[in-house]
Amino acid sequence: MIGADRRGRAAVAVVLHQFRYSHYNDKARWALAWKGVRHERVSHLPGPHGPAIERLSGQRQTPVLVWDGEVIAGSGRIVDAVEARVAGRPLLPADAVARAAVDGWRREFDDTVGPAVRTVVFAAMIDHGGYLCRLFAEGRPVLTRAAYRAIFPLARGRIARANGVTDPDNVRRCAAVVEAAMARVADATAATGQLVGDAFTAADLTAAALLAPLVNPPHADMNRPRPMPPALDELVARWQSHAAGRWVADQYARHRPGG
């Protein structure tokens, strides 16, 4: 746990506004864990989250980090902010060539692979409202869970559109993006076990977190409860046995502090 920030202050007030089990959110959780930043988490329910996140950050997506009153929206900006504020255990290499390679992996995963993974995973669970509600409302009072489940059928269409699962061609296109990304990761990590050089960087953190929904790694933040919907079970079984799936699980085991 961190005792002081770069400016030497003893206590830092850090709050992460998040969705449970969400892969972009897990990038932020991972950066905070990697640097040992003590923080509070506020879990929002997808759907009803909009007004509160918009009031806080001027946009509607999670994760949003509040660090000593400064509001930082977006997982990439959060990783950079944590890196800039906390010395030690660097996530960004000092060497310019390595840094450009890390930035390239981050861009590709943030812009292309992350959304494709989300579409493929949502396609496997969109017709299982009870399971989706259980995931996102875990830990909430029973009345909140019941109310969330009751309104889900009304929100289903919007959730399906927002996650790109209404068009079967788009789901197929996203599955192809996932296939290509898994092949590239398996290939790129074969030599050293890491994407750039032989040390864990923001490239590994980004790729592993954004691929995690395919693999259900054994970490409390991303290990979805079972039983899962059958199509999701099949998807996870398939990717867990792929070399890139094993790499994701290994990154969580070796480089993700806490359990």
| Residue 93 binds ligand GSH, judged by CB under 6 A | no
| Residue 62 binds ligand GSH, judged by CB under 6 A | yes
Rule CB under 6 A: choose which of 14, 17, 21, 24 binds ligand GSH: 24
- 10 Å CB burial of residue 240 (0-12, 13-18, 19+) is middle
Query: How many chain residues interact with ligand GSH (CB under 6 A)?
Result: 13
- The binding track of 63-82 with respect to ligand GSH, each residue x by CB under 6 A or -, is x----------xxx------
Q: Which of the residues 156 through 195 are near ligand GSH (CB under 6 A)?
A: none
Comparing CA positions, the residue from 94, 93, 91, 71 lying closest to residue 80 is: 91
Q: What is the DSSP letter of 212?
A: G
Distances (CA, A) of 209 to 109, 110, 135, 217, 252: 10, 10, 17, 10, 9
Rule CB under 6 A: choose which of 14, 16, 17, 19 binds ligand GSH: 19
C-alpha to C-alpha distance for 239 and 175, rounded to whole angstroms: 12
Q: Is the peptide bond before 51 cis (omega within 30 degrees of 0)?
A: no
| Residue 61 binds ligand GSH, judged by CB under 6 A | yes
Q: Which of the residues 94 through 153 are near ligand GSH (CB under 6 A)?
A: 110
| Residue 43 binds ligand GSH, judged by CB under 6 A | no
- When the beta carbons of 80 and 179 are compared against ligand GSH, the nearer one is 80
Per the rule left: phi > 0, alpha: psi between -120 and 50, beta: everything else, 219 is beta
Footprint on this chain of ligand GSH (rule: CB under 6 A): 19, 22, 24, 46, 50, 60-63, 74-76, 110
